[in-house]
Amino acid sequence: MISPYDGPNGNAGVDGEGERIVVRDRRRIDPVTGEVRTPGGETPPGATPAAGPAEDTAPETDAELAELAAQVAERTADLQRVTAEYANYRRRVDRDREGVLVSARVQFVSELLTVLDDLDRAEAHGDLTGAFKSVGDKVVGVVTKLGLEAFGAEGELFDPSLHEAVQHDTAEDAGTGPTVTVISTVLRRGYRLADRVLRPAMVTVVDRAEQAETAPPPGTADTAAVEQPPTDSA
């Protein structure tokens, strides 16, 4: 609100030196109407700002469409890469966790191999009876549940990666033909857990003649070689 001021020289709005004096009313409450005044450029309280012209966000050219498609393809590739990395991470974590568990089982079971050897010797001498046998069966059940497997039996083919031969003999009926090496006596059983050989089997081996392929039982004929009965000629 601008009000004129009468200077001493009688000119309205101009002081004695000829300068104009302007008085602005900055009161927020109108003294006449009692309403709240709103400074210029501001929106009154509770009023809705005037909506400006709507912006056109839709693509207008094929170049913009191609750019949007490229961005979508890039984001999709990033998502697929992150998904693949996460899947590889989970497989690696699962493999490491399984490796730790197997190592713990191997360390625990390895300490019981001498106990299993004592149980085998007691059973061979007929001393594994009564309460002693019950305890032995429980120990064997625990290590078997953990995945321990025993190997090495008489008559099996000799495998250097699994068996340790302390004596090598040749059978009398081996002859001069091809022979195979088999286990003749098991001195100490071998054990493995998962894909790890904890201890090779200590055995004695013998060379024996290879057994020939078993011939088919007499009277058995190949159905394809059976002659068809002659047909009567016209």
> Residue 230 has what pLDDT?
52
> Residue 32 has what pLDDT?
76
Neighbour tally for 122: CB within 10 Å: 15
Cα–Cα distance measured from residue 68 to residue 41, given in angstroms and rounded to the nearest whole number: 38
> Residue 31 has what pLDDT?
76
* Mean pLDDT of the residues in the chain: 78
Check whether residue 159 and residue 105 sit in a common domain. no
Which among 95, 111, 127 is the end of a domain?
A: 111
174 lies in some domain: yes
Check whether residue 208 and residue 152 sit in a common domain. yes
The answer to whether the beta carbons of residues 43 and 49 sit under 8 Å apart is yes
83 lies in some domain: yes
> Residue 100 has what pLDDT?
93
Which among 58, 92, 111 is the end of a domain?
A: 111
CATH of the domain at 198: 2.30.22.10
48 lies in some domain: no
191 lies in some domain: yes
What percent of the chain has pLDDT above 90?
Answer: 43
Check whether residue 118 and residue 159 sit in a common domain. no
14 lies in some domain: no
125 lies in some domain: yes
Check whether residue 156 and residue 207 sit in a common domain. yes
Q: Which residue segment(s) compose the domain that 182 sits in?
A: 148-212
Mean pLDDT, residues 2-14 taken together: 48
> Residue 225 has what pLDDT?
43
- C-alpha closest to that of 37 among 1, 76, 83, 85: 1
**What total of structural domains would you count in the chain?**
3
User: For residue range 10-20, what is the model confidence (pLDDT) as tens digits?
Assistant: 444 445 556 67
Mean pLDDT, residues 14-38 taken together: 69
169 lies in some domain: yes
Check whether residue 78 and residue 121 sit in a common domain. no
Mean pLDDT, residues 199-208 taken together: 92
Which among 103, 123, 146 is the end of a domain?
A: 146
The answer to whether the beta carbons of residues 162 and 200 sit under 8 Å apart is yes
pTM metric for this prediction: 0.53
> Residue 224 has what pLDDT?
42
Check whether residue 87 and residue 99 sit in a common domain. yes
Cα–Cα distance measured from residue 113 to residue 149, given in angstroms and rounded to the nearest whole number: 11
222 lies in some domain: no
Mean pLDDT, residues 103-109 taken together: 93
Check whether residue 138 and residue 125 sit in a common domain. yes
